[in-house]
Amino acid sequence: MPELPEVETVRAGLAGHVLGRRVIDVHVHGTRVARRHDGGEADLVGRLRGRTLTAAVRRGKFCWLLLDEPGEALLLHLGMSGQILVRSADHGEPAAPHLRARLDLDDGSALDFVDQRTFGYLAVPDLVPTADGGPGGLGSDVPALPAQVAHIARDLLDPWLDRVALAAAIRRRRTELKRALLDQTLVSGIGNIYADESLWRARLHGARPTDALRPVEVARVLDAAAEVLAAALAAGGTSFDAMYVDVDGASGWFERELAAYGRAGLPCPRCGTPIRRESFANRSSYSCPRCQPRPRRGAR
């Protein structure tokens, strides 16, 4: 689920429902949730208890809540399967099967972190200054971000992203275009689904060598990616209500609007040619054989 549009939906939900709330207590389930927090589970809980959540910020697929303790934040990463659920005081739901952490808040509500595959995590890192002096991410003007996020590039919905510099950096790389799109240190927020959708829109094959791309092609795929992310966000953003921050992009955007991803054998919406599935770096890539011709070895 969680690529940029899904994480932004979470961030917006958190901004609307938990800011100003104080953390009364924290319950951690399992050994993996706190594995990326330096002081371990007990320290994580200790640093959160009594703190007030003051802002919800996102860069790429990373989301964090600023704390009233200056220079600290609660960092959330959803991994492959993470969800954030905001439970109202009277929700009455049983705990989700893969509940990994619960924060009890001072109005009786709770913030649940649910994660089947346990690649997600919580941490309370120190904040470090941003390299460009701009805000750490969307949702805050503070020019600081969690230490673990310092190497993560800005994303395509961030006004501080320098598109010209990004395009130049992509063409300087010696790799394949899809790898570059997935490289969070170049541009963040794009995962396997939206990489394929962006490449389809731009009519480029993901195996195209980045250093042989024409500038107009790089611009086209970046425009396409920005459009896809914005459209997915608009679709995903419609589906959460007051007590549930929805991470389930699958129900809305996923099934109806994808042109290539997961559609092996189905007709390309542009030309009708059956979409192909290829294996790439231990995962699947979907593309149109006609609109997105595979590059010849060594050539563009």
Partner DNA sequence: CCCGGATCCTGCTGGC
Partner DNA sequence: TGCCAGCAGGATCCGG
Of 48-56, 110-118, 131-139, 268-276: span binding DNA (CB under 7 A): 110-118
* Active-site annotation holder among 61, 154, 171, 178: 61
Distance of CA 10 to CAs 5, 71, 230, 288, 295, Å? 9, 22, 15, 32, 38
Residues 231 and 266: their CA atoms lie apart, in Å, by 22
Nearest to 9 by CA among 257, 230, 181, 255: 230
Q: Is 215 a known active-site residue?
A: no
Binder to DNA among 148, 198, 287, 292 (CB under 7 A)? 148
The reply on whether position 281 binds DNA by CB under 7 A is yes
Residue 48 or residue 62: which is nearer to DNA going by CB? 62
CB 123 within 8 A of CB 36: yes
Counting runs of H as helices and runs of E as strands, what totals does the chain give?
A: 7, 12
Q: Is 176 a known active-site residue?
A: no
CB 181 within 8 A of CB 221: yes
Q: How far is the CB of 175 from DNA (least distance, A)?
A: 4
The reply on whether position 214 binds DNA by CB under 7 A is no
Q: Can you list the alpha helix ranges (DSSP code H) found in the chain?
A: 4-17, 40-48, 163-172, 177-182, 192-202, 215-236, 255-257
With CB under 7 A, what is the number of residues at the site for DNA? 36
Q: How far is the CB of 144 from DNA (least distance, A)?
A: 17
Tokens in use for 27? Answer: 């319950």
The reply on whether position 119 binds DNA by CB under 7 A is yes
Distance of CA 174 to CAs 89, 101, 298, Å? 53, 41, 12
Q: How far is the CB of 247 from DNA (least distance, A)?
A: 8
* Active-site annotation holder among 159, 256, 283, 296: 283
Residues 253 and 172: their CA atoms lie apart, in Å, by 33
The reply on whether position 237 binds DNA by CB under 7 A is no
The reply on whether position 179 binds DNA by CB under 7 A is yes
The contacts of residue 159 (CB under 8 Å, 6+ apart) are none
Helix (H) or strand (E) holding 65: strand 62-67
The reply on whether position 168 binds DNA by CB under 7 A is no
Q: How far is the CB of 25 from DNA (least distance, A)?
A: 25
Residue 37 or residue 61: which is nearer to DNA going by CB? 61
x-marked contacts with DNA along 64-93 as a string, rule CB under 7 A: -------------x-xx-------------
Q: Is 283 a known active-site residue?
A: yes
Residue 49 or residue 173: which is nearer to DNA going by CB? 173
Q: How far is CA 249 from the centre of its chain?
A: 12
Q: Is 6 a known active-site residue?
A: no
Q: Which residues pair with 63 in a beta bridge?
A: 58, 76
Pairing label, strands 276-280, 110-115: unpaired
The reply on whether position 283 binds DNA by CB under 7 A is yes
Residue 80 or residue 266: which is nearer to DNA going by CB? 80
Q: How far is CA 259 from the centre of its chain?
A: 20
Of 11-19, 65-73, 129-137, 280-288: span binding DNA (CB under 7 A): 280-288
Catalytic residues: 2-3, 61, 283
Q: Site residues (CB under 7 A) for DNA?
A: 1-3, 6, 32, 60-62, 77, 79-80, 97-98, 116-119, 148, 151, 173-176, 179, 184, 191-193, 249-250, 254, 279, 281-284
